[in-house]
Each structure stands twice: as C-alpha cells, then as structure tokens.
Structure 1
C-alpha cells in the first residue's frame, strides 16, 4: 500500500492543467499498519496502538482541552458520561475505551471526550464518482481543528475476524470509531460533519436519547456488519445519531454512490448518482459540510473549486490518481487537512484500492 507524505506548498499537474496544491505526492513512505483482531476481548483490541501512540494521544487530549476552551459544565458532563459508560455506550465500545484508558494512563473521561469530538467539530470533503467503465471511486479529505496532532496519530487499521480481513480504515490512535473505511467488493465510506446547531447539543443527545449513537460508532458497526452498498445506505439513513452529518458511500456497481444528509432522528435527503441527470450527479457527487441544494458560504467554499476540478478532469480521465489530484488542490485541501484518500471497493486495499496521502 502506498502512502504519500506531502510538504507545504508545491505545484502539481492535474489532468488538464496546473493547480496550486498543498497536499502533493512528493515522497512515498510506509504508514504503520496494525491488525485489529475483533475476536480478541474488546479491552485488548487497541492496546498495541495505544501503547505505541500514548504520548501523541496525550498531546491531542491536552490540546483539545486547552484550545477548545471547554467550559467546566461540559467537563462535568463528560465525566458523567464516563461514569455511566456502560449505560450510555454499548459493547464493545465501552470496553475498548476502557482498554485505551488503561494502556495510556489517560483518564477515561478524556478518552471518551476524544472519541466524541468528531461529533462536535470537523470539516471534510467527500467525492464519489463513476469512471467511464462503470467503476465507482471515492475521494475523501479529513479536515480537523488539530491537523498537526492527528497526522502524528494516523495509521492504517486492518480489522480481522475469524482470520479474514473485514475492512480497512485510515485510523486515528485512541479512536475506536471509523471515519474513512474500505470494504473490498462491498463499499467504501466516509463521513462529513453537517454544520448545523450548537455542538454542546450533540453531547446532550448522548445522554437524553438512549438510542442515539456517536456517529463513528454507527459507522464502525456498518463497516463490520453491512454486506452491501444498499444495506450500508439503509443503516446510515435510519439509525439515531447524536449529531447531524453527511454519510458518503460508494459501491461496486454503476450508480452505487450516495450522499446521505442526516439530522439526529431521520433522513433529510438521499442524493444518488444518476446517469440520466443533467446535473453533476450524472457522474459524480461532491459534498463538503453544507446541504448540497444550497450555495456554500463564501467564507468556506471548497465546493466550487472542487467541482471545477472534476469538470476539468472529465469522466473520461477520472481515476484514483486524478481523483487524488482533485482532493489535494487548494482549497479542497487546506491547512486543516489531516489526510486525503482515494479508494475503490472494486480493488483490494493492499493492491491500490485504498490510497492515503498525509499533508
């Protein structure tokens, strides 16, 4: 698997022109890959990654608490959630979080907070597209308030069960959920925050609605259990969540691409690839952090340059390499980008179907 290290400001050549880029495939390195054995007791699954990344996890937790200026009331709320972890978080997540806390020496409340933070604040870009031969490809940028910390925490996780690879993810140490996933011959997945409401309301949902789940816990269940694009879309469309979001899913057959717009309780919109359309969904969907039927704010318009790049590239020339070019142009890629991914469920992760670039 090729993982690329990007340096600050360079110029990269896209399919039909020059674009300024902040995420350039400059030097290839090997990301460390860990096997996560789902047959192990839950509190032991992430022990090795927790030990290996303990200092980096602690640094992230400290930065989150300091830079987010968390009010005392919220800290009290997090501590309450941690004290009620068995009631509020189902197995195996409760035990996995305990295992990370024990392995790193970090308070359980801080580990819980670190695992809820994506439901509070994150900005991302996702693209799902159809090549001319009908193969579905999927691009994803993970943008976050603490990119320099998360880059040091990123690794490739291969989740195994009964000795077989279930799925692969671009993973963050200390985190048990899934933000970006590849399930060979089934589907690919990514999640974007939906810029709606107050972040502290999302935390309250973790307590008030016993059926609601942190976003990344639902997506972990989907990656483990769903066996088709359609099943993944159905679960992500109907599960109770603690925060609004966009789920982006790509399949293995023509037309299997969807952006699922969600609030906490229900599906808001299901936007799918449609070869009969006269709009962009004819061959690709592009989602940032705003409802696709509304114009993005001028202060954060990654949509327009992303669409321009896709349209310039054209369906005839789109592939995993040119899709990565789109994901790494400025401002689709920006100062908060942690990593970029180009993936396809039609190709095994280890054979080029899951390509990750760190900025």
Structure 2
C-alpha cells in the first residue's frame, strides 16, 4: 500500500486495563470521539468494552448514533454525547438510548420537546462549568438548570443520571485552577444533591486526572488520549512511565529514490537545497493525509533504519527526505511514527517537531490512509475495514 495506519488493538486493551488499575473504584468511559482520536471509532470502542470499559464517550450526536448503528446497543454500553447545537437529533438520540449532556436551558427545552414527540424519557447528565469556560452551566445559572431538570424528572420526562464537568489544566500539575475546579465541582454536586438529584455517576477526570489526580476520579473516569497509549503529560512521564503503550503506527512506502547533484532545490519554494550530491526519497504522504505542513524541514521519519528529517516543504500528497549516502529502494518502508519499539519516531516526537500536541498528530490522519487492525479479540476486529 501507498500508506497505512496500523492499530494495535491488543495494546489498546492493555491500556484500558492499566487505566482501570489507576482508578480502581471508578467505572471507565472510553472516549472514542473524533474517530477514536484517528484510530477508528467502532473497532476501538469494541476492544475497550472487551477490556472492561462500561461507557463510551462521544462529542457529537452523530458519533453516538454511529456506535448504536454499528450494533453497540444499550445492553452493551452506555454512550454519553456532550456537544449539542440547536436543532440537533434529540429524538434520535433518545430513541437510541444515548445519555445526553445538558449545559443550558435552551438545550433542556429542546430535549423536552423531543421527549414529548417520542413519548420516551431521556437520560441526562447535567454539566457544570467549573472554570474551563467552554460548555457547561455557569454557577449563577446552575440553580435554575437543576430546578427545571428536577421538575422534568418528577414529571417522568427524564432521569438525571449524571453530574459532571471538565478540567482545564489537569495536564499541568500544580496549576491553581485544579484546586479551584475541584472545589467548584463539589459545590455544584452538593447543591444538586441538596435539591433531590440522585446521580448514578459523578465524573470529572480526563486522561491526565485519571493518571495524576485520584481526588478527581469520583464514580467514573473519562480517559481519551491515554487509552491510545499516549501521555497527556509528556513533561511528567512517558507512556511507559504510566504503563501505557502507543497503539498507532503510521507508515508509507517510498514512491521514488533518486540521486541528485549538490545545489538541487527540493519541494515548493526550495526551502531546502541539497548541500552536495545525495539521494532523495519520496514519501507519498502529505497534508491531505494529515502530515502537518508545520513539519516542513523538521518532521522525523525512519527510512533505511535511520531517523531522517523532512527535507523542504510538506506538500498535499508527498514529502521528501534526504538519505545522504544511504541506499533505499522504491517500496521500502518509511515510518513516520509508532510506539518507538523499533527506534522509530513517536507521535510525541512529531508533536515537538511541529510545536503542537500528540492529540493533534493522531487525529489529523486522513481518510485516504487505510487503518489495519491487529491483535483484536472482539468480534470482527482484524484487517482493514
């Protein structure tokens, strides 16, 4: 193949088990939004459940409904969806047994209208904004949201299954916002429970909090990045330090290998010029496949057993590496990143080269790159979909 992303499902299961060990008193929600961070939503969801996760987390309702359409029913996993916009598929989600996050009065009104249309009660999680400043209900609006939800619960229109929030800086140990958000979440939960809310789960911890903040774990933890074997806190520890192993390997096959003279410009704008006679290898992956253009001149690639650096600009479909005096042949493997077990670069190496996060590196991989699944135990998990 021109290129391939290999997803090690055995590593994913081991990561889920390691995260369960980090939060032994909490249930685990496997966050599979954004196509499971670029790894493939349905195969990763099935394997996470096989490894002991009992919940799945999605951002958009379309993601949640896709899980249900793939046969992951309410009897197999609870699915929470938290990023709603006006006019969303509320009725479809209710009928599919999706848990729905509510952050504001407008959303609760639309949800209740859908409950009236379907005749089916909804299951909701009320989200408090404890300081992140994105979604979630502000403290001054929290009493009204809780009161309206409690009235709807008393009327049999919904069940309040969860109270939750999200941390802004769990990946920065000691950040002052952590203490403030922990206190704000306790206040929000205490208020709701004083008004008669009896949540099934309270949840606050993302990957970083699951690894570093036991006091944030509550009844449910929501690991995302860590489930895929990447460290959410690379300044604190590597994946191995947390008992994790990267799941994804991205590689391509060289499309061209040729000798060129010194002084030869390479790729658009000639930002790289060969310092002397050398061998150039063409890797058939570009920014349309998710290779960051910011990696121009800096992205690491393993070719012919050595680390190389992207020579010149990353183009839409391809980039070049300078092999110097080393030999290679068309069809030879070029590994952009993987677990690092064979000396190849990792997603974190790419993140540092591009001045970004490993989250972005893995979620960028485009649809032109097929995913191949290995090590699966859940039904239908091997091969390329």
- Measured against the shorter chain, the TM-score band is under 0.3
TM-score of the aligned structures, taking structure 2 as reference length: 0.26
Higher relative contact order (CA 8 A, sep 6+): 1
TM-score of the aligned structures, taking structure 1 as reference length: 0.27
Larger Rg belongs to? 2
More strand by share: 1
